[in-house]
Chain A
Amino acid sequence: MTMQTPLAAAARPLQAGSPPAGWSHQHLLDLEELTAEEITLILDTAVLCKEATEGCRRKIDVLAGSAVVNLFFENSTRTKTSFSLAARRLGADVIDFSASTSSLSKGESFIDTAKNLQAMGIDAVVVRHGTPGTPHLLASHLNVGVINAGDGPHAHPTQGLLDILSIRERLGDLKGLTVGLVGDIAHSRTARSNIWGLTKLGAKVILCGPPTLVADGWRELGVEVSHDLDAILPRCDVLNLLRIQFERQHTRPFPSVREYAHLYAMNRDRLRRAKKDLVILAPGPINRGVEVTADVADCPQSLILDQVTNGLAVRMAVLWLICGGRSSTQASKAAEGRIV
């Protein structure tokens, strides 16, 4: 591994049960609100978590006694599973709460639902919702930690973090790297979280896709905009291939999937014309044959499965920083240096 982990310093907080110092946020809503140092702190903490749970000792009990609620209003398999597993590995209790089986189907507002959960004594809410800003609305009405697991096309901070961690593992420091985000930028929370995270860490970001999905206005955020994948391909160190979100589009932003794939799919031929050590990411689920062909998805340069592994580590780090800071005294008492 190429990154510099302060292992000696890190081992101590892990044993004490309280998270590494330097975290001051009650919630994680968005990478836009974090500094480069805070992003790096999460990534370093994720590395600690990853190392501590490798092999057969998969659990650290730093959040024993804490309770985390997964409040998912949109379907999700991998993110929800990842958050649940992350919380359990830290020793926290996890409650899954899905909108379709709750009082929400009886007309209760989601804020009332969340307040009820809070009254039962929980430490954090992991929320996914189809509408941008919903986690922010929750955060302004609850006094527990709120972690945004995706709010419509707005933000998906842990996805941004796990993408960045995967790049850092493979290529080292982000500074000076050129990262191409290809595809449905308009509807992608992953794109937005990547843009904030990557630019804060000094990477250059190029957005690429048809003008109906990549508006020129994005340049205002300090990124480059291109509509020609073949033109930017030779300059990219990383390509992050974003899924076409058919479910968020009223009218199809391109004539056919066939034409989209012709212009923007990452295939063997394009791979040959890219940098030799190009790294490929794709936040799942992928549409094989649309954004990426099957052979490229499974090639050695693809980090798709590393992303999943790192997702778990990043979510452990975020939960630990947010819940651990909340109850560090209880946690340290409970943990007493135990790694089970």
Chain B
Amino acid sequence: MASMLIRGGRVVDPDQGIDRVDDLLIQDGQIVAIGQSGSQPLGKVDETLDASGLIVTPGLIDMHVHLREPGREEDETIESGTRAALAGGFTSVACIPNTEPPTDTQANVEFIRQKAARADTCNVFVVGCVSRDRAGKELAEIGQLVEAGAVAFSDDGSPVYDAELMRRAFEYCRMFDKAILAHEEVLELSRGGVMHEGQVSMALGLKGMPAAAEEVMIGRDIALAEVTGGRLHVMHVSTAHGVELIRQAKRRGVRVTAEACPHHFTLTDESLRGFDSNFKMSPPLRTAADVEGIINGLVDGTIDCIATDHAPHAPEKKLLELDRAPFGILGLETAVGLCVTRLIDAGHIDWLRFVDAISRLPAQILGVNRGTLRPGAVADVTLIDPSLQWQVDVSTFASKSINSPFDGWTLKGRAVATIVAGRVKYRLPR
């Protein structure tokens, strides 16, 4: 009978429409009550956390994380990646299946779940492959993957290139009500590219990846989702026009959701002027107009969620010529700070919308029973200090890798405690 009282914090729970200073009572790993301070007979609690001045939210969920294990343990492991998640305030991650081997069998799903259980850190929800061996030729055994616990399907890292296969995947997944998480890219248009195609790539002589490479594929997948009634989730939307395509599709009633990454609403292609591979990711950093489009999409809900696309790469891999360095950057440990600084403090969205985008909606899209502080729910809770100023220092990261473009940035807002099923799994060292 372990009980915990989180006292006097500002409780923000969009699922119940709550945003008020209150106490949160947890017992045996479940939420028991949100009660007015002192008004309820709480009896004796085993542990009390003083949350005055802090934001108390349902545990944050990052639905786009590359944990790299199995196959590339030099970049990240399930243990190190989930520790990074906890340090960033995330109580759950969804791990993307482009591992080696890819997560396309029950055994592979089971491996990840066992490793995660052994790590005993945060929840790991497994995303399975759309296609066998992630090769884009034939469907993976989606039904068996669902039985093993896969919560969604994706060939991320690559698009599902064959339109017929994508159509079949949408149709087949309807049977399980699972979403397909799509990496949208027309490879012929982006081939050889290392950054956004535009003014800056032109001046730097770097091969560009045009916005159209992403938008054409978003358009295709919306059409396929529309014709099949399947569920499309557009990963890492990076262009203003891509947002607009999704907005129009939603108006027509297409079952489409979308996510945006913090780097796509905080950085532009101008960052590439220093030729630093920590600014190289796919889709690439776009223009200021695209940043504005992404933020508008987050404000009006066209973009449902914030996900990080946490993509660790060992330092020796990133310290190469720009065209040889791999795509991707770390995301877990800077997401909250970037969102508080650039979205909330900047006045674009409020705390309710933020928690909606990074907890309730990801849970809903993945179909997992998280993202709420309702009595009876699993007690995944994040405590955020909204006014804590801190400097990003990659040498202190829990991740095995250091490929963050935000190293040295001063951010405001940071998770100070991360609670998974009623147990405090992370506390910011004082």
Q: How many residues of B contact A (CB 8 A)?
A: 18
Q: Interface stretch among A38-46, A127-135, A328-336?
A: A127-135
16 further A-B contacts with Cβ under 8 Å, apart from A129-B321, A133-B204, A154-B204, are: A109-B319, A110-B321, A130-B321, A131-B322, A132-B205, A132-B275, A133-B206, A133-B275, A133-B322, A136-B274, A136-B275, A151-B205, A187-B205, A215-B202, A218-B202, A250-B192
Within 8 A of B (CB), among A30-86: none
- Known A218-B202, A221-B203; judge A250-B323 contact (CB<8 A): no
A-B contact pairs, 15 of them (CB 8 A): A110-B320, A110-B321, A111-B319, A130-B323, A132-B205, A132-B322, A137-B275, A137-B322, A154-B204, A154-B206, A186-B202, A215-B202, A217-B198, A220-B199, A250-B192
Assess whether A152 is interfacial by the CB under 8 Å rule.
yes
Residues of B within 8 A of A154 (CB): 204-206
Q: How many residues of A contact B (CB 8 A)?
A: 26
Assess whether B250 is interfacial by the CB under 8 Å rule.
no
**Choice from B191, B198, B199, B323 contacting A131 with Cβ under 8 Å:** B323
Assess whether B162 is interfacial by the CB under 8 Å rule.
no
Distance in angstroms from A69 CB to nearest chain B CB is: 18
Contact B205 A189 (CB under 8 A): yes
Assess whether A227 is interfacial by the CB under 8 Å rule.
no
Interface of B is mostly: loop
Distance in angstroms from B205 CB to nearest chain A CB is: 3
**Complex Cα distance A153/B202, Å?**
9
Assess whether A315 is interfacial by the CB under 8 Å rule.
no
**Complex Cα distance A151/B205, Å?**
9
Assess whether A204 is interfacial by the CB under 8 Å rule.
no
**Complex Cα distance A215/B197, Å?**
11
Residues of B within 8 A of A221 (CB): 203
- Known A217-B198, A250-B191; judge A152-B205 contact (CB<8 A): yes
Assess whether B316 is interfacial by the CB under 8 Å rule.
yes
Residues of B within 8 A of A133 (CB): 204, 206, 275, 321-322
**Complex Cα distance A220/B206, Å?**
17
Residues of A within 8 A of B322 (CB): 131-134, 137
Distance in angstroms from A193 CB to nearest chain B CB is: 10
Chain B residue with minimal CB distance to A215?
A: B202
**Complex Cα distance A134/B321, Å?**
6
Assess whether B324 is interfacial by the CB under 8 Å rule.
yes
Chain A residue with minimal CB distance to B321?
A: A131
- Known A133-B275, A137-B275; judge A109-B320 contact (CB<8 A): yes
**Complex Cα distance A129/B202, Å?**
18
Residues of A within 8 A of B203 (CB): 192, 221
Distance in angstroms from B377 CB to nearest chain A CB is: 49
Contact A137 B321 (CB under 8 A): yes
Within 8 A of B (CB), among A229-279: 250
**Complex Cα distance A110/B203, Å?**
25
**Complex Cα distance A132/B203, Å?**
10
Chain A residue with minimal CB distance to B198?
A: A217
Assess whether A303 is interfacial by the CB under 8 Å rule.
no
Residues of A within 8 A of B323 (CB): 130-131
Distance in angstroms from A185 CB to nearest chain B CB is: 9
Within 8 A of A (CB), among B183-221: 191-192, 198-199, 202-206
- Known A109-B316, A131-B321, A217-B199; judge A192-B205 contact (CB<8 A): yes
Q: A210-231 CB contact bits vs B (8 Å, 1 = yes)?
A: 0000010110110000000000
Contact A155 B205 (CB under 8 A): yes
Residues of A within 8 A of B192 (CB): 250
Residues of A within 8 A of B274 (CB): 136
**Choice from B199, B206, B319 contacting A132 with Cβ under 8 Å:** B206
